[in-house]
């Protein structure tokens, strides 16, 4: 009887709560420049200044021609099969486990095996033999576990070709999109030199050359001589020629010279442990003149590596604020704040990632679009931060467009994840249409003046990512 009475009440409570949340709205203020441009019909809401590059990026023609010339002597069918497997392997990688965590897990597995097999009251001469067998079995189980599988790849010449076929198009599209955002928001910046750590086949140089023709020096660091050789073969086909490309095997320890743009794209996973990653990140930061760009796969593992680097550099910046005459440095993209990442605080199982569209490489000249997820962070060193621009929230999930309303999941300058309902009736039309036409990864050109409309209704709802 109690359940019969309470069940409808619970249902009504949920419905009323849901209705209250839907009616709530944030107090927002549209950017003044955007408002004027919209009022004068100089731009459409779908092309507001917070929009990040959306088009599918295609490899330059010379890259496609160069790849086809390099693989002429190989079986096309075998290459396609092997490159697909290689792509899946790279997507499933994890950073190498720390020594302490590996040893602890190894000891636990050995104890579990001993309990399952019930190795008790063994003769002294059998103890060593059993220990070796148990250790061998535990090591085999560790290797089959994805979490503890080795992430480092041996880039011999054939594996380098597989990487070129599997990753050239998505890597180029991701870097193109990131550099496009830097160029669109900082149009006066002209890079003269670039440092690329973990350069691989040279996708960073290809993309950077599209936006900064002033680049005169590209220092490419990669431990594999075979992949550097392949990158040089590809660069011979470049149109126009990319000038000043120099390949090195090791990253110099000294802080000079500094480079206008420093990039590490998909290279941190190949380092042996966390200590090595942090040492490299600190070294790259010391060499940064203006922009430091760190990119990894958009998986949980990739996001955690990026967040590790983010926390490391923010720690340096927070300590440097106590010093005098320190040039201002801050997170340029994607975060609108410098607090702890809310994705880590709210749901550690959901990465903060974004999507790039690209035209996949094909041996049959067929053109089809795909999407690739990535996690990244861009730091800007020196110069003054545009406070109004920096306060724009960023969409961290696809916008849900519904009848007469749109739902935006945003990371806000207050360091919170928020879900906001924009409606035509309860918001200004420019605000509503800008929000409705914005996509995952865009910045909304508005400032959240207040998180509540009044004392009774919450305008912005904190939610866990799904």
**Cα 25 to chain centroid, rounded:** 30
- Which of 111, 126, 148 is at the close of a domain? 148
Inter-CA distances, 312 with 278, 308, 321, 376, 405, Å:
7, 6, 15, 14, 40
Same domain, 217 and 189: yes
| Positions of the chain with pLDDT under 70 | 1-26, 98-103, 106, 116-128, 142-152, 321-327, 347-348, 383-390, 451-466
Same domain, 121 and 232: no
410 exposed, middle or buried (CB, 10 Å; 0-12, 13-18, 19+)?
buried
Q: Is residue 234 part of a domain?
A: yes
Question: What angle, 0 to 180 degrees and rounded to 10, lies between the N-to-C axes of helices 61-70 and 157-185?
Answer: 170
- Which of 337, 359, 387 is at the close of a domain? 387
How far the first Cα of the chain sits from its last, in Å, is 36
CATH number at 379 reads 3.40.50.150
Same domain, 221 and 303: yes
Q: What is the reported pLDDT for 327?
A: 62
Q: Are 158 and 230 in contact (CB under 8 A)?
A: no
- Which of 333, 352, 387 is at the close of a domain? 387
Q: What is the reported pLDDT for 320?
A: 75
Same domain, 192 and 141: no
Q: Are 328 and 383 in contact (CB under 8 A)?
A: yes
Q: Are strands 27-30 and 446-450 parallel, antiparallel or unpaired?
A: antiparallel
Q: Is residue 114 part of a domain?
A: yes
Burial string for 111-125 (b: 16+ CB within 10 Å, else e) reads: eebeeeeeeeeeeee
Q: Is residue 7 part of a domain?
A: no
CB half-sphere exposure, 118, CA atoms < 13 A: 0
Q: Is residue 402 part of a domain?
A: yes
Same domain, 197 and 212: yes
For residue 101 the two structure tokens come to: 């965590």
Q: What is the reported pLDDT for 308?
A: 94
Length of the chain: 466
Same domain, 344 and 458: no
For residue 190 the two structure tokens come to: 């002209």
Same domain, 447 and 330: no
**Cα 248 to chain centroid, rounded:** 25
- How many domains would you assign to the chain? 3
Same domain, 144 and 157: no
Same domain, 72 and 22: no
The secondary structure of residue 270, as a DSSP letter, is: G
Domain around 31: 12-50+392-462
Q: What is the reported pLDDT for 253?
A: 82
Q: Is residue 3 part of a domain?
A: no
Same domain, 330 and 190: yes
Q: For 275-331, how does the pLDDT look when each residue is reduced to its tens digit (9 = 90+)?
A: 999 999 999 999 999 999 999 999 999 999 999 999 999 999 888 765 544 568 899
Q: Does residue 453 have a cis peptide bond before it, meaning omega lies within 30 degrees of 0?
A: no
Q: Is residue 4 part of a domain?
A: no
Same domain, 319 and 188: yes
Other residues' Cβ atoms within 10 Å of the Cβ of residue 154: 8
For residue 115 the two structure tokens come to: 């309990």
Element (H, E) at 17: helix 2-23
- Give counts: helices (H), strands (E), the chain: 14, 15
Same domain, 372 and 418: no
Q: What is the reported pLDDT for 21?
A: 39
Q: Is residue 83 part of a domain?
A: yes
Q: Is residue 6 part of a domain?
A: no
């Amino acid at each position: 009887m109690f359940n019969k009475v309470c069940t409808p009440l619970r249902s009504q409570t949920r419905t009323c709560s849901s209705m209250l949340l839907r009616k709530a709205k944030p107090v927002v203020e549209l950017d003044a420049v955007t408002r004027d441009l919209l009022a004068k019909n100089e731009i459409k809401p779908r092309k507001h200044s917070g929009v990040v590059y959306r088009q599918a990026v295609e490899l330059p023609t010379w890259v496609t021609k160069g790849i086809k010339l390099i693989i002429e002597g190989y079986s096309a069918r075998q290459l396609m099969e092997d490159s697909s497997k290689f792509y899946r392997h790279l997507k499933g990688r994890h950073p190498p486990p720390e020594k302490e965590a590996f040893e602890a897990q190894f000891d636990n597995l050995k104890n579990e095996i001993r309990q399952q097999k019930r190795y008790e009251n063994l003769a002294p001469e059998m103890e060593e033999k059993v220990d070796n067998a148990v250790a061998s079995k535990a090591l085999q189980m560790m290797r089959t576990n994805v979490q503890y599988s080795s992430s480092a790849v041996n880039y011999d010449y054939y594996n380098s070709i597989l990487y070129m076929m599997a990753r050239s198009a998505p890597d180029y599209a991701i870097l193109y999109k990131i550099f496009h955002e830097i160029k669109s928001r900082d149009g006066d910046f002209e890079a003269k030199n670039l440092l690329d750590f973990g350069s691989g086949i040279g996708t960073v140089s290809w993309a950077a050359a599209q936006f900064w023709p002033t680049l005169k020096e590209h220092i490419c660091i990669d431990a594999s001589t075979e992949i550097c050789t392949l990158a040089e073969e590809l660069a011979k086909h470049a149109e126009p020629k990319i000038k000043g490309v120099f390949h090195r095997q090791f990253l110099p320890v000294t802080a000079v010279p500094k480079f206008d743009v420093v990039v590490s794209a998909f290279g941190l996973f190949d380092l042996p442990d966390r200590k090595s990653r942090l040492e490299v990140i600190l070294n790259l930061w010391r060499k940064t003149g203006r922009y430091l760009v760190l990119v990894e796969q958009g998986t949980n593992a990739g996001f955690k590596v990026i967040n590790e680097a983010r926390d490391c550099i923010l720690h340096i910046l927070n300590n440097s604020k106590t010093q005098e005459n320190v040039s201002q440095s801050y997170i340029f993209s994607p975060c609108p704040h410098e607090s702890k990442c809310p994705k880590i605080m709210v749901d550690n199982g959901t990465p903060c990632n974004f999507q790039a569209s690209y035209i996949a490489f094909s041996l049959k000249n067929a053109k089809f679009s795909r999407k690739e997820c990535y996690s990244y962070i861009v730091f800007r060193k020196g110069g003054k931060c545009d406070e109004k621009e920096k306060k724009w929230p960023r969409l961290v999930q696809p916008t849900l467009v519904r009848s007469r309303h749109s739902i935006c999941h945003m990371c806000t300058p207050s360091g919170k994840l928020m879900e906001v309902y924009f409606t035509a009736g309860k918001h200004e039309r420019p605000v509503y249409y800008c929000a409705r036409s914005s996509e995952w990864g865009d910045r909304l050109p508005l400032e959240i003046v207040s998180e509540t409309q009044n004392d009774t209704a919450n305008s912005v709802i904190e939610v866990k990512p799904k």
